Structure 1
């Protein structure tokens, strides 16, 4: 967005454009919190242009051209800001009750204010809505991940990706293995070269729809790293 602003305005001064970009991002609607970040923080939508001025909202809605704006500003400047106060002809009433002489009498005359419940501010309302929207979004993500990343069971065939730095161009991108054990969401995977070192999380491998290997095909006597397993199973030495 900043690059687009610099291209449109034919300038390389990004320090000026970053202010407009930040305002645009913070005032845009966010699908996660169901409102803009600006409204979540301050409780109101960002005021841009004439909406940030002291002009009434209904007056701004009626403006069509710059001449209309100049006419309203000129008319408001000609009107006096303050009205003269009316002269009071009646004298002030005389106080007949004496003032309390002691602090005890003073405290007796002061009545405590009634306790009133303060209404929730707009900022609190906006933030509560944002929290509720984020919780719903998190629930959807967890539900979707559970459908896509189905839990594996012992005996399932999996494909473990090999990093590009550890494989040659002629090597396969994955190593075929078998789930040997599952404990607290951590998987122990074995391949024909041996049992892979370390535990694997569910997002670190893909489940195979067919069982091409069984536990009898796994070399359970040795423990190898993913790089060593790739080197042993490679057709040209990894």
Structure 2
């Protein structure tokens, strides 16, 4: 029973290492793309919302948009190469969902 557990642990470590190489840490002020769930949008709505990193907590990030700040923390998987907005453009309103 210990052999499969050890293999699974090794595989998890390998996946985390691969993820860390693919997705570099984000900086405060960097622009990101936040995906919108299919159930939360109409067919003609945008699939992503552009946001900006406001704060970093461990390996998760607080994101704000031009419509407000999100309650939840996000992972570092969708950076944007261009800067569309700045952290000072985010109103002090809490957005409940994406």
Shorter-chain TM-score: which interval? 0.7 to 0.9
Alignment of 1:222 onto 2:93: yes
Alignment of 1:208 onto 2:80: yes
Alignment of 1:169 onto 2:43: yes
**Distance (Å, rounded) in 2 between the aligned partners of 1:143 and 1:195:** 30
TM-superposed deviation, 1:136: 4.2
**Distance (Å, rounded) in 2 between the aligned partners of 1:142 and 1:195:** 28
- Name the count of aligned residue pairs: 98
More helix by share: 1
Q: Secondary structure of the residue that 1:140 maps to in structure 2?
A: helix
TM-score (norm 2): 0.81
TM-superposed deviation, 1:144: 0.7
**Distance (Å, rounded) in 2 between the aligned partners of 1:224 and 1:137:** 37
Q: Which runs of 5+ in 1 are unaligned?
A: 1-40, 42-123, 228-238
Q: Is the 8 A contact 1:162 1:226 kept in 2?
A: no
- 1:144 alignment counterpart: 18
Q: Which runs of 5+ in 2 are unaligned?
A: none
TM-superposed deviation, 1:152: 1.3
TM-superposed deviation, 1:186: 2.5
Q: Which has the higher contact order (CA 8 A, sep 6+)?
A: 2
TM-superposed deviation, 1:157: 0.7
Runs of 4+ in 1 over 4 A off after TM superposition: 133-136
Larger Rg: 1
Root mean square deviation, CA, Å: 2.4
More strand by share: 2
Change (3 A) 1:166 1:136: closer
